[in-house]
Amino acid sequence: MTTTSDEDLAVLALEGRFEDTIAAMSRIEPRDWMPEAYRATMVRQIAQHAHSEIIGMQPEGNWITRAPSLRRKAILLAKVQDEAGHGMYLYSAAETLGADRADLTMRLITSRQKYSSIFNYPTLSYADVGVIGWLVDGAAICNQVPLCRSSYGPYARAMIRICKEESFHQRQGYELLLTMMRGTQAQRDMVQDATDRFWWPSLMMFGPPDDASPNSERSMRWGIKRHSNDELRQRFVDMTVPQAEKLGVTLPDPELRWNEARGHHDFGQVDWDEFKAVVSGNGPCNAQRLARRKSAHDEGAWVREAALAHAAKHGDEHPERAGVARGDKS
Amino acid sequence: MTDQSWPLYEVFLRGKRGLNHVHVGSLHAADPEMALHHARDLYTRRNEGVSIWVVRAADITASSPDEKDPFFKPSGDKVYRHPTFYDIPDDVPHM
């Protein structure tokens, strides 16, 4: 009886310190005590985010071999490489919570963990590369900038690095579109068509409306979320409308107009049935994306095994490298 | 399919000459040589570093993060280690 009560007190004290750290806007760090629900939520969020970056290489990766110039190809390669890097930063952050990277990969390719619904739409023309940079990366930046202040230290630090790099992604996309809009009528039509296809899925990236978002309240209190889904969606719409005007494209929403009284743009209803269908696996490209990720993993198995065998055989054969490292220490 | 995964390495970068190496994250690699190459590709795509250290995460010994830990206690009550502990008249120059 006494033991139980002591343990209860100890947990209460730990919870108190955890809540105090959050309340002081300080950061939770990897080996700190944290409620299991916080750890589980954090792992799920970071893993989903990592999976999104990794799957996100595919829609644009499709166009690397068909880039219209060497300049565009170099840019696109760098961007897709960044997406891989972002996935790696995030898996690294998830591992500080005790998750295992190989296990997370298995959860992705067996559909036990999700990734952003946006990457289940096909990329039908080169204008899609521009529109993904402008709208999809633009929406991602809106979502991610507040996450640089996430209460979980390693996630916040990864997000700072990611946000710096996303800025290049958005700007290269917008510049690509500006270039196409100065081209032929056919090129302008491609930009409008890509905008028509990606506008609504981009709005879905902010997640379900606030009244249908079950864990938001606790996530706000724990500093996991900083703004509601609807707030961020509104911010994105307000930011994007003048960019669309400057570009000379029409956003495909007849209800989109400035509301002087609110100081924001009003916009139409997102098709949440479509969102649910895509999230639950029935989007245009879900099966293709997962199959591609699984085949890359399976076909890489021999490389992983061979590297391990090589390391086991030649483990301590780099004394000169060790010497350099020692000399370099301060 | 392999059931043994590459070990975890922690990565430290010297951003430029004159600065200490700072921890930036981690990655998996089969051996230290590969860890260095991966660290270059992952953490210095935009000239963020002039020198990289990688170390097996399993080889790091860390202090406990628990605040009740008396580990850092010895420095807590030694205010006399700080210059502000000492009252010096304002008109004493260069102090």
Residue-wise pLDDT for A165-218, tens only, equals 998 999 999 999 999 999 999 999 999 999 999 999 999 999 999 988 777 788
Whether A228 and A216 have beta carbons less than 8 Å apart is answered as: yes
ipTM of the complex: 0.87
Q: Do B5 and A304 touch (CB under 8 A)?
A: yes
- 3-state secondary structure (DSSP) of residue B76: helix
Which residues in A lie closer than 8 A to residue B1 (C-beta atoms)?
298, 301
A305 min Cα distance to partner chain B (Å): 6
- Is A326 a residue whose pLDDT tops 90? no
Give CB contacts under 8 A, 24+ apart, made by B18-21: B20/A330, B21/A330, B21/B51, B21/B53
Contact A311 B62 (CB under 8 A): no
Percentage with pLDDT > 70 across chain A: 94
CA distance B95 to chain A (A): 30
Q: Is A298's pLDDT higher than 80?
A: yes
Instruction: Report the candidate in B37, B3, B30 with the shortest Cα–Cα distance to residue B11.
Output: B37
Q: What is the pLDDT of residue A86?
A: 97
A167 CB neighbours in chain B (<8 A) are none
Report the number of secondary-structure helices (H) and strands (E) in chain A.
15, 2
- Looking at chain B, which residue has its C-alpha nearest residue A303? B2
The answer to whether B47 contacts chain A (CB < 8 Å) is no
- Return the sign of the alpha-carbon dihedral for residues A241, A244, A250, A252: negative
Cβ B1–A301 below 8 Å, yes or no? yes
The whole-angstrom distance between A3's CA and the closest CA on chain B is 19
d(CA A110, CA A102): 12
Q: How far is CA A174 from the centre of its chain?
A: 19
In this structure, chain B runs to a length of 95
Does any CB of chain A come closer than 8 Å to the CB of residue B8? yes
Task: Give residue A5's pLDDT band: very low, low, confident or very high (50, 70, 90).
Answer: confident
pLDDT band at A2 (very low <50, low <70, confident <90, very high): low
Amino acid at B61: T
Within 13 Å and on the Cβ side, how many CA atoms surround A194?
Answer: 28
pLDDT in tens, A88-144: 999 999 999 999 999 999 999 999 999 999 999 999 999 999 999 999 999 999 999
Quote the pLDDT of residue B3. 55
| Residue A4 pLDDT grade (very low, low, confident, very high; cuts 50, 70, 90) | low
Instruction: Specify the pLDDT at position A10.
Output: 85
Across the interface, whether the CB atoms of B25 and A89 are under 8 A apart is answered yes
pLDDT recorded at residue A216: 77
* Residues A304, B25: C-beta atoms closer than 8 Å: no
Specify the length of chain A in residues.
Answer: 330
Residue A310 CA, chain-centre distance (Å), reads 34
Least CB-CB distance to A88: which of B31, B42, B65?
Answer: B42
Backbone phi and psi for residue A165, each to the nearest 5 degrees, phi listed first: -80, -30
By Cβ distance, the residue of A92, A301, A311 closest to B31 is A311
Q: What is the pLDDT of residue A11?
A: 86
Can you give the pLDDT at residue A76?
97
Q: Which of A304, A311, A325 is facing B2, going by the closest CB pair? A: A304
Q: Does A330 touch chain B (CB under 8 A)?
A: yes
pLDDT under 70 in chain B at which residues? 1-3, 66-69
Q: Is the pLDDT of residue A232 over 70?
A: yes
Q: Is the pLDDT of residue A321 over 60?
A: no
Which pLDDT band holds residue A244 (cuts at 50, 70, 90)? very high
For an interface test with A, the pick among B27, B37, B61, B69 (most A C-beta atoms closer than 10 Å) comes out as: B27
Amino acid at B95: M
For chain B, the farthest-separated pair of C-alpha atoms sits apart, in whole angstroms, at 76
Q: Best residue in B8, B34, B36, B67 to probe A by mutation, most A CBs within 10 Å?
A: B67
For the segment A320-327, the average pLDDT, to the nearest whole number, is 49
Task: Inform me whether the C-beta atom of residue A89 falls under 8 Å from chain B C-beta atoms.
Answer: yes
Cα separations in angstroms, A65 against A119, A126, A239, B48: 19, 11, 32, 29
**B1: nearest CA partner in chain A:** A301
Average pLDDT of the residues of chain A: 92
Return the percentage of chain B with pLDDT > 90, whole number.
Answer: 74
**Optimal mutation site among A31, A92, A169, A298, interface B, most CBs of chain B within 10 A:** A92
Which H or E run contains A55? helix A36-55
Residue the block writes with tokens 């609110």: A262
Backbone angles phi, psi at A28, to 5 degrees: -85, 130
Residues of B16-35 as b/e, b for ≥16 C-beta within 10 angstroms? eeeeebeebbbbbbbbbbbb
Residues A310, B31: C-beta atoms closer than 8 Å = yes
Each residue's pLDDT tens digit, A21-72: 999 989 999 989 999 999 999 999 999 999 999 999 999 999 999 999 999 9
User: What is the count of residue pairs from A and B with beta carbons less than 8 Å apart?
Assistant: 65
The nearest CA of chain B is from the CA of A280 a distance in Å of 28
A263-287 average pLDDT score: 95
Find tokens 């080169």 and name the residue.
A126
Asked if A124 has any chain B CB less than 8 Å from its own CB, the reply is: no
